[in-house]
Structure 1
Amino acid sequence: MLNLPKEGVLSHQPIGDFITEAGAVINDATVAFQRWGEFRGDPHGKNNIVLVEHALTGDSDAATWWEGLIGPGLALDTDEWCIICTNVIGGCSGTTGPTSIHPDGTPWGSRFPATSIRDQVRAEQIFLEELGITRFHAVLGGSMGGARALEWTILFPDAMGYACVIAVSARSSAWQIGIQSAQISAIVRDPAWANGDYYSTGASPQNGLAAARRIAHLTYRGEQELDERFGTIPQAGENPLGAYRRDDQRFAVQSYLDYQGDKLVERFDAGSYVALTDALNRHDIGRGRGGLNKALASSIVPTMIVGVDTDILYPYHQQEHLSRNLGNLLAMAKIVSPVGHDAFLVETRQMDRILRNFIALTQQVPSPNELAERNGIYDI
């Protein structure tokens, strides 16, 4: 019997010393997580666990950032499914990251190793094993969470029955690396960055983090949505068309982006933002696996692919590429929205339909493990 924490309670699971893909060591690592719904089944076989993966600045509180989709009677019905969501390694919401305390008693800071999406998945796999879980029903996530879900299907295909990969690509494109590197640059050029060791200085690179968020948010939303909402109108009480440019005389869209930057500064750590953005830059399913298409073709996990028609950050053609090359495509779905990349977080009605369809398909289509058992496939 699994000893899981109470529903919605933030909990922590030690996973020991974690060795990254590149060979660095994160001592005494801990993974923060939350769960909703009661566990039923065999932790090493068929069960009702659905693993939900968060995006870049998300956390383990999936019931909040995916409000309306997780709960009794909702698409991810907690009367039927046991939903588990972890905070990613390198994060700042309970899992070991740059803000965490190093064994020497001071924050990791600049000593925190670079990590990859594969590292994120391996840390999560160790976390599940520490809980006593080696198999689960499905994994799903969007954006960085989608990259993690996709990596799960390649790294540990026997661990799950199904996957749903939302608003992400098979690898980071040069454009994505460029725009994400610009965000990192905004942070590390802030004088308060202190080479990543600002935790004991009494200051933090808030201006850099806010600037990074402003850049990022332009890729999270759609051009059409922003133009319809703001156009060229000035912020109330301000005049951006005066004789001299002034920081306090803004267009409305500038005020909106400033707000988004300030809001992130209140809840997120700049060191984690750099670490996780760098991990996204390293995302490449094909690396060391014979290239993208060969790696995708090797996937045996029935996988649903979901994209957004107006996504600037991960354009829909990238999800089409996934769907054409995956070895076991379960279904393809498109979110139609002017919102852009963030549509998978805000278009609740469309995501409700998509996730209900995904769950239904997982109950109709046999998993690879079920097929193997049904066909009597044994190791000889």
Structure 2
Amino acid sequence: MGVVETFHLDLPDPVRLDCGRELHPVRVAYETYGTLSPERDNVILVCHALSGDAHAAGVAKAPPESGTRDGFGAEERDGSSAKGLGWWDGMIGPGKAFDTDRYFVISTNLLGGCRGTTGPSSTDPATGRPYGSDFPVITVGDMVRTQRAFLDALGIERLAAVAGGSLGGMQALEWAISYPDQVDAVVAIASTHALHPQGVAWNAIAREAIMRDPAWQGGHYYGTGRAPDAGMGIGRMVGHITYLSAPALEEKFFPAAAVRRRPALHDHRARVRGGELSASPGRLVRQALRRQHLPLHLARADLLRPRQAARRRVAEAGARGRAGADAADRVQLRLALPAGGLAGHRPGAALSGQAGRVRGDRRAVRPRLLPAGRSAADAHHPPVPCPRRGRVTSRKRHW
């Protein structure tokens, strides 16, 4: 992409926020790559993650003090251009995923990002000092609303796609919700529509680490010569822990220990690769779908059809005066890939047959919808006493 310059645009109107306030003035930092078509229909908006900025590709004309490239050893990997190289340089450019020979790619710094776009470090017109902690609380919806106002100022009405990872993916999903008729495609990578309660708890700990740093100064530390760098470092450490699960961390930093602690899993994988065992049911389903060229969304609709039948049978049983509550316990939904894959399977028809069962694999279930008390296959699942309450239960998997 060569050398790229960051531009700024002041929005003409105030931005309405979800907290009820209006923010004005608002400045947006942005970069563009490629050529805008005469019809203005080839625009792709890329959204950065929490620590990113508007510089997504190419080499910055004015390199920042620290780069926004992700990954361990990014500076060593990228060489002398590490600080000035865009955070998604490997994805944006001629012949790349976001091909600038075909598309006009726009990258903006999100609202509150403080890397050129209005945020807590910006000057509050009411006081003449940086907002600091007086900056209003913003949401992903506010970020997307600002992007929409920015595109309106550029005269762009519709987007060919919105793409981003992590927080950028959340913005992409918000575009699909708030402006479904103004975006053709959404690319959300390593993202989510909402944060799990445990994630909220970890974020609370990270915020406390920052605010308990003496240099926090109630959030008004701009211009004082001190910043809560120590608290920010601890908060960032907490964030990195949440990016990987415990097994993933172990496999990344202690691969040998991970193999020793999970010998059965690694032995199973090795036996699958060697052909001694069949693959997992989920993998068999994916392989069969690829062989049959069956769209995944159609396959899901077809495979879930027996579950609707199960609910209908329970409702019918209750309507006939039978114990409706007990009927739910007596209906088993057992769904898996037949031994012959999906070959010859008609859309809308219930699956039949029996999948191979790997010993000890609880995911291997049967593909028929039958009352549990009348199934001939129940002989393969003898009742066993429940260790907690002494009740007799079944080894069959319940959905």
Match of 2:155 among 124, 132, 147: 132
Partner of 2:10: 14
| Preserved contact between residue 7 and residue 34 of structure 1 (Cα < 8 Å) | no
Match of 1:211 among 214, 234, 246: 234
Partner of 2:37: 40
1:174 CA drift (Å) = 0.5
| Preserved contact between residue 140 and residue 146 of structure 1 (Cα < 8 Å) | yes
| Preserved contact between residue 26 and residue 112 of structure 1 (Cα < 8 Å) | no
CA distance in 2, matches of 1:137, 1:201: 45
1:195 CA drift (Å) = 1.2
SS across alignment from 2:23: strand
Matched, 1:30 2:27: yes
Match of 1:85 among 107, 118, 131: 107
Amino acid at match of 1:11: F
Unpaired segments of 5 or more residues in structure 2?
Answer: 58-85, 256-295, 298-399
1:220 CA drift (Å) = 2.5
Matched, 1:145 2:168: yes
| Preserved contact between residue 163 and residue 186 of structure 2 (Cα < 8 Å) | yes
| Preserved contact between residue 111 and residue 146 of structure 2 (Cα < 8 Å) | yes
1:170 CA drift (Å) = 2.0
Q: CA deviation digits over 1:114-139, x for unaligned, max 9?
A: 00010000010001001111112111
Structure 1 41/213 Cα, relative in aligned 2: closer, same or farther at 3 Å?
A: same
Higher relative contact order (CA closer than 8 Å, sequence separation 6+):
1
Q: How many residues align?
A: 227
CA distance in 2, matches of 1:217, 1:173: 16
CA distance in 2, matches of 1:216, 1:82: 33
Runs (4+) of structure 1 exceeding 3 A deviation are 221-232
CA distance in 2, matches of 1:141, 1:35: 16
The structure whose Rg is larger is 2
CA distance in 1, matches of 2:101, 2:249: 38
Amino acid at match of 1:189: R
Aligned CA-pair RMSD: 2.2
Alignment TM-score, normalising by the size of structure 2: 0.54
Unpaired segments of 5 or more residues in structure 1?
Answer: 1-5, 233-322, 325-380
Structure 1 7/83 Cα, relative in aligned 2: closer, same or farther at 3 Å?
A: farther
Over the matched positions of the two proteins, sequence identity in percent amounts to 40
CA distance in 2, matches of 1:7, 1:230: 37
1:225 CA drift (Å) = 5.5
| Preserved contact between residue 72 and residue 79 of structure 1 (Cα < 8 Å) | yes
Amino acid at match of 1:141: G
Amino acid at match of 1:34: E
Alignment TM-score, normalising by the size of structure 1: 0.56
1:26 CA drift (Å) = 2.0
Structure 1 143/94 Cα, relative in aligned 2: closer, same or farther at 3 Å?
A: same
Matched, 1:56 2:50: yes
CA distance in 2, matches of 1:135, 1:204: 41
Amino acid at match of 1:91: G
Q: CA deviation digits over 1:104-157, x for unaligned, max 9?
A: 321111110000010000010001001111112111111111110001011011
CA distance in 1, matches of 2:191, 2:252: 26
CA distance in 1, matches of 2:214, 2:183: 45
1:224 CA drift (Å) = 4.9
| Preserved contact between residue 110 and residue 196 of structure 1 (Cα < 8 Å) | yes
